[in-house]
């Protein structure tokens, strides 16, 4: 937005503003006005795509709703779920796709190949589906070492074997040197809905419990460190993993309302999506959130909030409150769920908000970020 | 984490809160300014206001370096970043701050080479490894950060790194506090002093606030118990009729500050006759620039900086909000033209700004108002 | 305004003037210790880290004194009052 635009905006806003008075009810009016503004149809104001549009926060949401949803609108897409539930000749399928761009391509705990398989398997799993088949498309940069490509495909094959899925179709394109980041991978996946259950925000009720399946933020911190720009070292590895088996354990134990894969934007973003879609409140208990000390240390040092840091092998589940303890016990017996914990509860009010009861004993709102969480010095 | 977790103890906070209530004179309202954005962050991050009685209001001050950078300086920095061969380096904080023509993130999207660094030393490293490029460090911050920039310049000079430059936007806190104290409409009862600035300047420079203006200041640490204890210390001073400079953050802040850090600053930098602060206007002797002796590393001398001046929009009432005269929602453009996605004024720019915080957290307030009105 | 985090000095980097490795619960980084002046630092010392520089040595005795004061404040108050305070803030 240019300076002139800003000036115009201001003039218009003043013209619209009610005559100012310091009456207490005016504060409510102002707050109501903000709520209305928040509900307005999203509009992309930028003329160019910025990195914020890919960060999974508000900017991503706006781009998806204002550009993609506008162009492709249909009832299946409108739910903006991790995958699309489809009826195909009488069987219930889930279809999903995801692109992977990560720098560096190889990092402690995994590489872009693991991510590409696990990410799509997890999107299917959190829709309640049993993952079956994947596609894999590669965009390779001229000059990319074949040995590196083999490393990536070996990881993909191993991850697919672990998840019990097959890569059944694919594609390759090569772009000129300098036009790509070595290697981008896009996977799509289909799974089948075996269970007679309905997952989704409409099933969420006050009194339900919110579960996080393991320690948060490890993938995001690992990548940030592996980039080397921050010049820090720490013993932390990516949490990338296929969680379909862990999800199955949960679905076997407790009535589950909905599941989300906590990737970009971290647990905070997922919790907001749930609260917003269900029009209920989520009250999170900060001391209950599983997080390793080293991730906490990195976050303190860089001024980041771990709630917004990406995971690649963790889910957030809303389950019937009465069965939450049993569900967590079952998850903890699974190697990927050892640190699973009940982190909060669903409440009726204030609808659409995520509140955090802090270690210190205060309460604050956990909002969605506009873009990536950036390290800060102040 | 040592020196952190023990200052987040809820049990101690409850006891301290009870003492704070005891110290409030019935019927009296107390307004304290936390000068530093870091304290604002602590207050929101930990939900600290839940422990404060209605009688105590905290006003968020001007100590957020990215909030007070005038739009014209951001435009100047982007103009430098767009020069051929330039790598602009910046702290993450600056990336989203809008000038008149967009932010660093926008400029990066349009092709400028702008990189995020954790330390000015990392910018120096980029200069070392890219000898054919011109590496500019966007230096922002108060006295806490200025010594790091100065030390980095000294290192660049010693290494003979001719391609390393600093675009100096360092500001100093005392003139800003004085500007606020001198404004006729301020109604502050005391200050929560900036702890980390004080590691450098010490506690003496605040003494004029107590002796000249009769207001207490407590130099405070950044954990929530530190802030709560500082409120307690301020209230106790008021109850006892004292106005003094006190140091709550003794584990980190020496009364005399850090002599070495001050020497390094004055070796490399000098005070500008005046500098513009977003929301507060021009304040004399409130910022630093590079000395002639280090001209070889001064981006302002190397580049023809356009020196754009973008006036704060007239409707913007950030100055009043910063001084605690207006609540964020009382500003004419709050929530209409000015939102976190399209900020107009300084208080909406950073998530620590008073208006951004209120915009994001006000919904909670609304809920509370509704609850109180229905019960 | 200025994020400063306590970290423990692990080692002074050999052959590098004014650089030391600092540890923040398992996160390590080389930081500049040249702003600390003559007092200097030794492994095991705790410092306040800001933008890759040690700004100040943390005074452990003062830290203990502040905590003792915080523990002492309101210690005379009964648990009853404690409970009352708790009910106020929820």
CATH of domain B1-311: 3.40.50.11740
What's the confidence (pLDDT) of residue A46? Answer: 79
pLDDT of residue B8 exceeding 60: yes
Percent of chain B's residues with pLDDT above 90: 66
DSSP B334: B
**Residue B332 has what pLDDT?**
85
What does the pLDDT average to over A167-192?
Answer: 96
Q: Count of CB atoms within 10 A of residue A193's CB?
A: 20
Report the residue from A298, A376, A377 with minimal CB separation from C27: A298
Q: Which residues of C touch B2 (CB under 8 A)?
A: 6, 8, 46
For residue C2, the 8-state DSSP code is: -
Q: Using an 8 Å Cβ cutoff, are A192 and A129 in contact?
A: yes
pLDDT of residue A10: 45
Who has greater pLDDT, A4 or B97? B97
The answer to which of A143-157, A174-188, A348-362 has the lowest mean pLDDT is A348-362
Average pLDDT over residues A112-132: 97
Question: So what's the pLDDT on residue B249?
Answer: 97
Closest approach of chain B CAs to the CA of A269, in angstroms?
15
Nearest CA distance, B242 vs chain A (angstrom): 30
Give yes or no for A49 touching B (CB within 8 A).
yes
Maximum Cα–Cα distance across chain B: 70
Domain around C42: 5-89
For residue C64, the model assigns a pLDDT of 92
Is the predicted pLDDT of residue A319 greater than 70, yes or no? Answer: yes
Nearest-CA distance A239 → chain B (Å): 23
The percentage of chain A sitting over the pLDDT mark of 90, rounded to a whole number, equals: 72
Contact C28 A301 (CB under 8 A): no
For chain B, the chains sharing at least 3 beta-carbon pairs closer than 8 angstroms are A, C
Q: For A299-306, what is the mean pLDDT?
A: 92
Please determine, for residue B248, whether its predicted confidence score (pLDDT) is greater than 70.
yes
Say which of B1, B92, B117 has its CB closest to residue A376.
B92
Read off the pLDDT of each residue in A3-11 and give the average, rounded to a whole number: 44
> How far B350 CA lies from chain C's nearest CA (Å)?
11
Which residues of chain A have a Cβ shorter than 8 Å from any chain C Cβ?
230-236, 293-294, 296-298, 300-301, 303, 361-362, 376-378
pLDDT per position as a tens digit, B273-331: 999 998 888 999 999 999 999 999 999 999 988 777 888 777 888 878 877 778 788 88
Helix (H, G, I), strand (E, B) or coil at B81: helix
Q: What is the CATH number of the domain that holds C74?
A: 2.30.30.140
Rounded Cα gap, residues B332 and C60, in angstroms: 49
Counting as contact any 3 or more CB pairs under 8 A, the partners of A are B, C
- In total, how many domains does chain C have? 1
How many Cβ atoms from other residues are within 10 Å of residue A78's Cβ?
11
Q: Is A17 touching B (CB cutoff 8 A)?
A: yes
Residue B367's pLDDT band, with cuts at 50, 70 and 90, is low
Mean pLDDT of A4-13: 46
Which position has the higher pLDDT, A334 or B357?
Answer: A334
Return residue ranges of chain B for CATH 3.40.50.11740: 1-311
Of A256-260, B179-183, B335-339, B346-350, give the lowest mean pLDDT range: B346-350
Helix, coil or strand: residue B307: coil
Q: Which of A234, A362, A377 sits opposite C27 (nearest CB)?
A: A234
The model's confidence at residue B358, banded by pLDDT at 50, 70 and 90, is confident
Chain centroid to Cα C36, Å, comes to: 15
Report pLDDT for B33: 94
What are chain A's domains? 38-80 (no CATH), 82-192 (3.30.1330.10), 201-365 (3.90.650.10)
Predicted local confidence at residue B361, as pLDDT: 67
A291 in Cβ contact with A306 (< 8 Å) = yes
Which of B91-105, B184-198, B236-250 is modeled with the greatest confidence?
Answer: B236-250
């Amino acid at each position: 937005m240019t300076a002139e635009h800003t000036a115009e905006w201001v003039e218009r806003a003043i013209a619209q503003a009610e005559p100012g008075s310091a009456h207490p009810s005016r504060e409510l009016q102002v707050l109501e006005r903000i709520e209305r503004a928040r509900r307005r149809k999203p509009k992309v104001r930028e003329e160019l795509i910025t990195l914020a549009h890919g960060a999974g926060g508000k900017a991503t949401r706006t781009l998806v709703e204002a550009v993609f949803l506008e162009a492709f609108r249909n009832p299946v897409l409108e739910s903006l779920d991790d995958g699309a539930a489809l009826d195909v000749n009488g069987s219930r399928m889930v279809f999903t796709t995801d692109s992977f761009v990560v720098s560096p391509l190889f990092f402690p705990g995994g590489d872009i190949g693991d991510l590409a398989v696990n990410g799509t398997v997890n999107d299917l799993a959190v829709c309640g589906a049993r993952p079956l088949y994947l596609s894999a498309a590669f965009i390779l940069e001229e000059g990319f070492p074949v040995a590196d490509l083999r490393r990536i495909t070996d990881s993909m094959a191993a991850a697919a074997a672990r998840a019990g899925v097959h890569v059944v179709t694919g594609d390759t394109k090569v772009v000129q040197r300098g036009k790509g980041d070595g290697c981008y991978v896009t996977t799509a996946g289909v799974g089948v809905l075996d269970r007679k259950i309905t997952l989704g925000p409409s099933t969420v009720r006050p009194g339900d419990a919110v579960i996080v399946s393991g320690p948060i933020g490890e993938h995001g911190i690992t990548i940030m460190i592996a980039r080397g720009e921050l010049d820090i070292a720490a013993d932390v590895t990516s949490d990338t993993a296929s969680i379909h088996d862990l999800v199955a354990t949960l679905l076997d134990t407790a009535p589950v309302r909905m599941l989300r894969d906590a990737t970009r934007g971290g647990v905070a973003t997922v919790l907001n999506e749930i609260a917003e879609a269900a029009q209920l409140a989520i009250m999170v208990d900060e001391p209950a959130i599983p997080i390793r000390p080293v991730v906490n240390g990195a976050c303190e040092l860089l001024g980041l909030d771990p709630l917004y840091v990406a995971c690649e092998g963790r889910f957030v589940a809303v389950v019937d409150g009465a069965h939450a303890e049993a569900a967590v016990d079952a998850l903890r017996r699974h190697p990927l769920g050892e640190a699973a914990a009940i982190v909060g509860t669903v409440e009726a009010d204030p609808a659409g908000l995520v509140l955090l009861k802090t270690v210190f004993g205060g309460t604050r709102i956990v909002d969605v970020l506009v873009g990536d969480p950036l390290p800060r010095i102040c | 984490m040592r020196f952190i977790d023990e200052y987040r103890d809820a049990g101690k906070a409850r006891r301290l809160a009870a003492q704070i209530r005891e110290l409030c004179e019935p019927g009296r309202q107390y307004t304290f300014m936390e000068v530093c954005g870091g304290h604002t962050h602590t207050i929101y991050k930990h939900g600290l206001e839940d422990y404060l009685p209605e009688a105590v209001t905290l006003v968020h001050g001007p100590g957020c370096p990215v909030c007070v950078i005038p739009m014209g300086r951001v435009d100047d920095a982007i103009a430098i970043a767009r020069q051929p061969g330039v790598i602009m380096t910046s702290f993450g904080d600056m990336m989203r701050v809008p000038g008149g023509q967009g932010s660093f993130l926008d400029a990066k999207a349009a092709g400028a080479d702008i990189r995020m660094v954790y330390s000015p030393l990392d910018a120096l490293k980029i200069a070392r490894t890219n000898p054919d490029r011109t590496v500019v460090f966007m230096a922002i911050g108060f006295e806490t950060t200025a010594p790091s920039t100065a030390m980095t310049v000294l290192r660049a000079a010693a290494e003979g790194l001719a391609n390393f430059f600093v675009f100096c936007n360092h500001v100093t806190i005392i003139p800003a506090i004085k500007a606020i104290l001198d404004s006729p409409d301020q109604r502050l009862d005391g200050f929560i002093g900036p702890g980390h600035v004080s590691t450098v300047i010490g506690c003496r420079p605040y003494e004029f606030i107590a002796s000249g203006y009769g207001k207490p200041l407590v130099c405070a640490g950044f954990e929530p118990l530190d802030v709560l204890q500082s409120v307690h210390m301020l209230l106790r001073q008021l109850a006892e009729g004292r106005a003094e400079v006190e140091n709550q953050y003794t584990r980190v802040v020496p009364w005399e500050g850090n002599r070495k850090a001050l020497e390094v600053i004055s070796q490399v930098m000098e005070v500008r006759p005046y500098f513009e602060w977003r929301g507060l206007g021009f304040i004399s002797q409130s910022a630093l620039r590079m000395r002639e002796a280090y001209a070889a590393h001064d981006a302002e001398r190397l580049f023809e900086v356009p020196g754009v001046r973008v006036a704060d929009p007239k409707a913007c009432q950030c100055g009043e909000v910063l001084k605690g005269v207006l609540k964020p929602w009382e500003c004419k453009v709050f929530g209409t033209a000015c939102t976190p996605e399209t900020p107009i004024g300084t208080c909406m720019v950073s998530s620590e700004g008073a208006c951004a915080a209120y915009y994001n957290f006000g919904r909670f307030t609304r809920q509370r108002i509704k609850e109180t009105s229905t019960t | 305004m200025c994020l400063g985090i306590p970290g423990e000095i692990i080692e002074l980097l050999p052959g590098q003037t004014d650089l030391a490795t600092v540890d923040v619960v398992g996160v390590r980084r080389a930081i500049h210790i040249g702003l600390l002046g003559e007092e200097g630092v030794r492994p095991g010392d705790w410092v306040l880290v800001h933008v890759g520089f040690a700004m100040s040595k943390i005074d452990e005795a003062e830290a203990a004194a502040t905590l003792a004061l915080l523990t002492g404040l309101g210690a005379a108050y009964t648990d009853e009052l404690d409970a009352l305070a708790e009910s106020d803030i929820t």
